[in-house]
Structure 1
C-alpha cells in the first residue's frame, strides 16, 4: 500500500519553509549514538590498564554498544507508534544520559560494559524516532529532503568524535569522555522537552496499532526499501572493514594517512546528502534512488577498472572512486529511508526501527566479511568486487520488490 493513498493531516498542512530549529534538534538527537560510540575509542588503551582487563574485554564496550544500538530500534520504533514520539524520546534519551553518568564512575569493566549497553539502548531513540518525526511532519519526497540533512550527522560525528575523545582522555582521563556524553545527552533531553511536540499522526477511525503493523509487515515494497538501504549502504561498512588492511598493510602507508584519505569518503557522503536535501522533492524518492544506485555503480566500476589497469595508483586509486560511491550513497540513503517509513505512515516508528536495525546488522556483517576476504589477498580487488556486488544486488532488489509497485 502506497503512503500517498492515505496522507496524514500533517502531510496536507506541512509548511514549505525549512524548520531549521527542529532539524537541529533532530540532528542533535541522532548524533548521541555515533558520538557516544566513537568518542571512547581513543581511550581503550587506558581502560585496559586502569580497569585491569584485556583488549578483548574492553572491545565489548564498543561491539555490545553497537549491538544494543541496532536491536533497541526494533523495540523503540513500535513503542513510539503506540505511545507517541515525545514520551519515548524523553524517556530514552534520559536513560542514555543517566547510563552515561553511571559509566563515568564505573569501578570495573563489567559495570562499564553494562552501562554502555544501557547507554546505547537509550541513544537509539534519537536515531529511530528522529526519522519517524520527519515522516510525521512531511510527505514522502519532502521527508527525504529533510532526512538528507538529518543523516549527515551520522558521518560528521565519526569524523570528529574520536579527536575530541582523544583530547579529553589526554587532558582529564577516560572518565571525562563519558561525563561529556552524559552532559550532551542531558542537554538534548532538556532541549527536546522544551521544543519537541507530539507528531504521531492521529489514528484513522477503525485503525489500530496491530493492524497498521500487520499491513507494514505484509508489504513487499517495505522489505524492498529496507533491503535497498542495507545493500546500498553496505559499501561504506565494507570499506571500513577492508580499507585499513589495503592502505596500511598492502600499500605500506601510515594509519594517519589512511585517516586523512578516509575523510574524503565522509565528504562525498555529505555531498550526496546535500544533493538529496535539494533535489529529492523535485525528482521524487524513487528517481533519486535510481540515480544514487547509478552513481554508486559508476564509482565501483571505475574502481574495478583502475585496479585492473594498474596497481600503482596508491591510495588515490582506491579512495577517489570510493568518493563517487559515497556520493551515490548519500543521495540514496535518505530517499530509501523515506520510502520505507512512508509505506504505512501510521507505523513509521516500527518501519524506522526495522530499517535502522537491518542496516546496522548487515553493515557489521559486511565489514567482517571484507576483513576475511582481504586477509589473504594480494590486491584490493576482492574488496572492490564485494562493493560492486552489493550495489548490483541493491539494484536488483529495487527492480524486483519496489519498481513494480512504485508511485513516483
Structure 2
C-alpha cells in the first residue's frame, strides 16, 4: 500500500527538472508547462470523489487495478504527446488513474486494523510518502539528461506495471461482501452529506487536510525562499528541500513509537500544539527581521516533523467511525487535502514579497485552524 501511495508524488515530481526540455520540444513558453502540474492536482482532487463510492461498492482490488490500468494508458499518452494540449489531457487522465492509489490504500489499512493499529500502519506508510517527493526530483535530474522527458514517463510506465503485478499476485480483497454499499446517486449523496455533517470526521479530516496544505505551501514557495532570499545555489536546493522531507519521515517514525504507549488522539493533540508553536515562531522571526537560514530550517524541520505525526493520526481518527463507507470517507479526505493544498500553494505563489512572510502567514492560518479542529472539536 505504501508503494502504491508513493506513485502520486513520483508522478508529480519526477518530470519537474525537464520542464525546459518539454517546453522546447512542444514549442510553448516554459511557464505554460506548469499547467500540467495544476491539471494533475485538480484531477487528483476531483477523481477521488468518484473512486470512493466505487470502491465501497465493488471492493478494493478491482477498482485499484482499473485505476492503475488507466494510469498506464495515460502515461503512454504522456510519453507520446506531440502537443501541449495532448500532454495536458493525458496528465489529467493520469491523475484520474493515480487517484485510486490515494483513496484505496487508506481504506485497505482501515479494513484490517483498529484505530490505534491503523495510525501505526499509516505512520509507516508516511515513511515512503516522505521519501518519494525527495527522491523523485533527484532521479529526474539524473535520468532526464540521459533518457529525456519522454523516457521519464516510460519509467513511470514500468513502475505502474510492477504495481499492477504486485496487486494481482499479493493483494487480497479486504471489503467483506456484506459491507458493499449500493451504487446509486441517492446513496452516494447521502454518504457524502452524512460525512460533511459528521462532527468527528470533519474535525479530524480538516485537521489533517489543512496541516498538509501547509506542506504544499512550503513546496510552492521553497525555491523563492531558498534561492532568492537566502542565496542558496540552485544545485544545492535539493539538499535543503530534502532536509525538510527528512523531518516528515522522522515525525512519522516518532509517531510509530509514541503509539506503542499513547492513544492516537493524544499523539495528534501534542503534534498540533508543537506545530502551531513552530509556525508562530517562524512568523514572529520573519516580522522582526531576525529570520536567517538556520532559524528558518529549524522552524520548518520542526513543523515537518509535526506533520509526520499529524497526518497518520488524524487520518486514522477520521476513519474510525465510518464502517461501510470507508472508501467514500477516504475519498473526501483526499479531495479536501489536495484542494486545500492547491489553494495554499496558489496563495503563496501569487503573494510574492521575496521573504518567508507569505509562507509563515499561510502556515499559521492552516495550522491554527488545524489546531482548533483537532484539539477542541474532534473527540476520540
**Do they superpose with TM above 0.5?**
yes
Tell me by how many angstroms 1:223 deviates.
1.1
Aligned partners of 1:69 and 1:120 also within 8 Å:
yes
In 2, the alpha carbon distance for the partners of 1:285 and 1:68 equals: 32
Aligned partners of 1:142 and 1:281 also within 8 Å:
no
Which of 353, 359, 365 is the equivalent residue of 1:383?
359
Matched, 1:337 2:312: no
Aligned partners of 2:278 and 2:300 also within 8 Å:
yes
In 1, the alpha carbon distance for the partners of 2:25 and 2:349 equals: 30
Tell me by how many angstroms 1:307 deviates.
3.9
Give the secondary-structure state (helix, strand or coil) at the position aligned to 2:82: coil
Aligned partners of 1:233 and 1:333 also within 8 Å:
yes
Tell me by how many angstroms 1:359 deviates.
0.7
Aligned partners of 1:96 and 1:185 also within 8 Å:
yes
Give the secondary-structure state (helix, strand or coil) at the position aligned to 2:178: coil
Matched, 1:266 2:245: yes
Give the secondary-structure state (helix, strand or coil) at the position aligned to 1:182: helix
Aligned partners of 1:228 and 1:397 also within 8 Å:
yes
In 2, the alpha carbon distance for the partners of 1:301 and 1:110 equals: 42
In 2, the alpha carbon distance for the partners of 1:381 and 1:101 equals: 41
After the TM superposition, which residues 59-208 of structure 1 pair with which residues of structure 2 at under 5 Å, given as runs? 59-203=34-178
Aligned partners of 2:272 and 2:374 also within 8 Å:
no
Cα deviation, 1:174-222, whole Å, max 9, x if unaligned, reads 11111110111011001101110110144369x8673655543431211
After the TM superposition, which residues 341-380 of structure 1 pair with which residues of structure 2 at under 5 Å, given as runs? 341-373=319-351, 375-376=352-353, 379-380=355-356
Structure 1: give runs of 5+ residues left out of the alignment. Answer: 1-25
In 1, the alpha carbon distance for the partners of 2:19 and 2:157 equals: 18
After the TM superposition, which residues 202-241 of structure 1 pair with which residues of structure 2 at under 5 Å, given as runs? 202-203=177-178, 210=187, 215-241=194-220
Give the secondary-structure state (helix, strand or coil) at the position aligned to 2:319: helix
In 2, the alpha carbon distance for the partners of 1:129 and 1:285 equals: 22
Deviates more, 1:128-137 or 1:387-396: 387-396
Give the secondary-structure state (helix, strand or coil) at the position aligned to 1:252: coil
Coordinate RMSD, CA, aligned: 2.2
Cα deviation, 1:346-390, whole Å, max 9, x if unaligned, reads 1111111111111111012112212333x136x434432332232
Which of 231, 234, 243 is the equivalent residue of 2:222?
243
Tell me by how many angstroms 1:245 deviates.
2.2
In 1, the alpha carbon distance for the partners of 2:167 and 2:108 equals: 12
Aligned partners of 2:138 and 2:238 also within 8 Å:
no
TM-score using structure 1 length: 0.86
Deviates more, 1:383-392 or 1:173-182: 383-392
In 2, the alpha carbon distance for the partners of 1:194 and 1:98 equals: 21
In 2, the alpha carbon distance for the partners of 1:60 and 1:73 equals: 20
Aligned partners of 2:10 and 2:136 also within 8 Å:
yes
Aligned partners of 1:301 and 1:388 also within 8 Å:
yes
Counterparts in 2 of 1:161 and 1:200: CA distance versus 1, 3 Å: same
Cα deviation, 1:108-167, whole Å, max 9, x if unaligned, reads 222222222111111111111011100000001100110111133232111111121222
Q: Give the corresponding residue for 1:22.
A: none
Tell me by how many angstroms 1:173 deviates.
1.6
Structure 2: give runs of 5+ residues left out of the alignment. Answer: none
Matched, 1:392 2:371: no
Q: Give the corresponding residue for 1:10.
A: none
In 2, the alpha carbon distance for the partners of 1:70 and 1:109 equals: 22
Q: Give the corresponding residue for 2:265.
A: 286
After the TM superposition, which residues 252-331 of structure 1 pair with which residues of structure 2 at under 5 Å, given as runs? 252-280=231-259, 282-307=261-286, 311=290, 314-331=292-309
Aligned partners of 1:261 and 1:315 also within 8 Å:
no
Counterparts in 2 of 1:281 and 1:110: CA distance versus 1, 3 Å: same
